[in-house]
Amino acid sequence: MIAYKLAVDKPVDLEITGKFVAPSPNWVHLNRVLCDYELIVMTSGTLYIASSEQRFSVSKGEYLLLPPLAKQYGYKASECSFYWLHFSSENAIELTEPASVSPSVRAGEVILPQSGTLGSLEKIIVMMKQLQDSVRCYNDKTLNNYMSTVILCELYNQVLFSSHPPAGKSKQEQLYNDIVDYIKWSRSKHIKVSQIADYFGYNEKYLSHLFSTISGTSLKQYILQQKMELAKFLLTDTNQNINEVSLQLGYSDCHNFMKSFKKIVGLTPTDFRNAYAKRLLFYE
């Protein structure tokens, strides 16, 4: 797979950023040639886009990094939404040989495969929303360049850790990872430690001890943290009101959700949303 080696010891140059929402199910990406890199992070639907002669289908939770001077065009109708970031980088190199993200990459550099699946879509989206808020609030080129570079470094680390899992997994570590995945897919529901123990067929006390030993965080606290990560994404990327967000996270009482959010994040849901309210939304 093609990958790109980017120097990040100095910040990349942000050109423009925003969020795009397809205006209709029949929308097709326009034909164009860009002079800079474009990072696309999908939030819903599937984008059908070609770069030169290569076709891509990019779905929610996936990203695509397109190079400068390549002809972009849509090859199929795409009902979708995505965040995008255009940037330029000095001394960037395209790696055409089979390449993978490596933990041994030299300091000050990142290697990004052209496409892949994100480890945490929510974290990337919140960071891109913060960048957009910064562009609208301050339009400080230095600040925005550094924030763009941080997003690329976060992307690199997400791809790195997903492609190089810790070696020598024990049975306990496998169980731990299964619990993490179960929580990730169930965090929009009201889940308890006892429910997880029943699902995996283990004693509740043993499972809690195993999880805290490996992660350093109690199982109950981890469930709450993951719910709040999803809450931050919903508050950042949607216009749902606080009550709708709390219901989507499995809370029957909105006040309990607000109390939990403030405890984990340090801000009320409303204050968190207002802190980064200046999203840049595009429909063309």
Residue 165 has pLDDT above 60, yes or no: no
Residue 99 has pLDDT above 70, yes or no: no
Above pLDDT 70, what percent of the chain?
Answer: 93
First to last CA, the chain: 30
Structure tokens at 239: 């216009």
Residue 168 has pLDDT above 50, yes or no: no
Quote the longest CA-to-CA distance of the chain. Answer: 59
Angle between helices 121-137 and 219-237 (to 10 degrees): 40
> In this structure, what are the phi and psi dihedrals at residue 230, rounded to the nearest 5 degrees?
-65, -40
Angle between helices 254-265 and 219-237 (to 10 degrees): 100
Q: Could you report the per-residue pLDDT of 245-282, keeping only the tens digit for each?
A: 999 998 989 999 999 999 999 999 999 988 877 777 77
Record the pTM. Answer: 0.76
Q: Could you report the per-residue pLDDT of 52-77, keeping only the tens digit for each?
A: 889 999 999 999 999 999 999 999 99
Identify the residue whose tokens are 């913060």: 130
Structure-model confidence comparison of residues 127 and 174, the more confident one:
127
Tell me the Ramachandran region of residue 86: left when phi exceeds 0, alpha when psi lies from -120 to 50, beta otherwise: beta
b/e per residue, 246-256, with b = 16+ CB within 10 A? bbbbebeebee
Distance in angstroms (rounded) separating the CA atoms of residues 200 and 198: 6
Nearest to 149 by CA among 89, 107, 95: 89
Q: Could you report the per-residue pLDDT of 186-235, keeping only the tens digit for each?
A: 888 888 899 999 999 999 999 999 999 888 889 999 999 999 999 998 99
The amino acid present at 255, given as its one-letter code, is: H
Mean pLDDT of the chain: 89
- In order of their start, the domains of the chain are 3-163 (2.60.120.280), 171-275 (1.10.10.60)
Distance in angstroms (rounded) separating the CA atoms of residues 17 and 35: 14
Instruction: Decide if 139 contacts 30 (C-beta within 8 A).
Output: no
Q: What is the model's pLDDT at position 185? A: 86
Distance in angstroms (rounded) separating the CA atoms of residues 50 and 62: 16
